[in-house]
Amino acid sequence: MWNQKPSFRFEIDNFSEKKDIMVSQTFVSGGCEWCLYVHPKGDSICDDQLFLSLRVANPSLLQPGWKRRVHFYFSVLNQSDKELHRSFIARTEFGAMNISRGFKKTLSLSKFQGKGFLEEDRLIIEVYIKILEAIDGESGYVSEIEEADINGFRVFASQVTSVKKIFEEHPDIATDVKPKNQVVKTEYMNVLLGLVNTLNKPSKNISVNELRNARSELYELTQVGFKLDWLKTKLVKVSLERINVDKLLGFIDHLL
């Protein structure tokens, strides 16, 4: 549901040959260090399911009393970036007693044997992370992402200007939005912001896959009540511009 770049992308070649737990390289998201654990053969309880987990990297180097309060989810894709599975959003807290959180039941391993399910035996795992709070040690230092309420939507401080601009230009945009849960509303607003950012890019810089995702996200947003005729017009314009760019490039290639 979030429309943002993944916090990390873990690409695994020759997946069917993997037997042991795989650990990604360490990456930074929200000022915190993480890594992914992939159990290609499940665990002793769910041995027929792909098991994915997010883990705090180097916890022994952190000060006593550290905490990380986060929301995160996984997306599993094939070689062509087709999404095979998306986990639900985990809302959890990491600490010295729980350095890892994950999903034991992600995808049935039998599916990977299905014809055409994986392309070139390559599996891609993306993780999307939102850091809500990071407490570093007993000193109680808190690094927290500030939030603000804009027309009933909780948004990060960095998003306030963009969200205010949308409501100023389209005041009735969310009058019929169905979800009332604040977390769900925030996630839909993140989708909308990402969609606006994508369509504001030069059309030559928007990939075919991004346009496909934009159409899907626009449909999803209108289904839950957002009034987005103005954005539909923008999408049509950008799509036509992209088609003309492709034709021009093809013509140039032909000349060369």
Banded pLDDT at 226 (limits 50, 70, 90): very high
- 160 vs 17, 114, 157, 190, CA distance in Å? 47, 46, 5, 12
Which of 130-134, 179-183, 225-229 shows the lowest per-residue confidence on average (mean pLDDT)?
179-183
pLDDT, position 245: 52
Q: What is the mean pLDDT of residues 193-201?
A: 87
pLDDT for 146 beyond 90: no
Q: Tell me which fold the domain 8-143 belongs to.
A: 2.60.210
pLDDT, position 252: 38
pLDDT, position 228: 94
| Other CB atoms within 10 A of residue 47 CB | 11
pLDDT for 255 beyond 50: no
Helices (H), the chain: 160-169, 182-199, 208-223, 229-255
Where do the structural domains in the chain lie, given as residue ranges?
A: 8-143, 154-255
Sign of CA dihedral 197, 198, 200, 204: positive
pLDDT, tens digit (0-9, with 9 covering 90-100), for 92-124: 889 889 999 888 767 777 776 665 677 888 889
pLDDT, tens digit (0-9, with 9 covering 90-100), for 41-87: 766 555 677 889 999 998 888 888 888 888 899 999 888 888 888 88
Predicted TM-score (pTM) of the model is 0.54
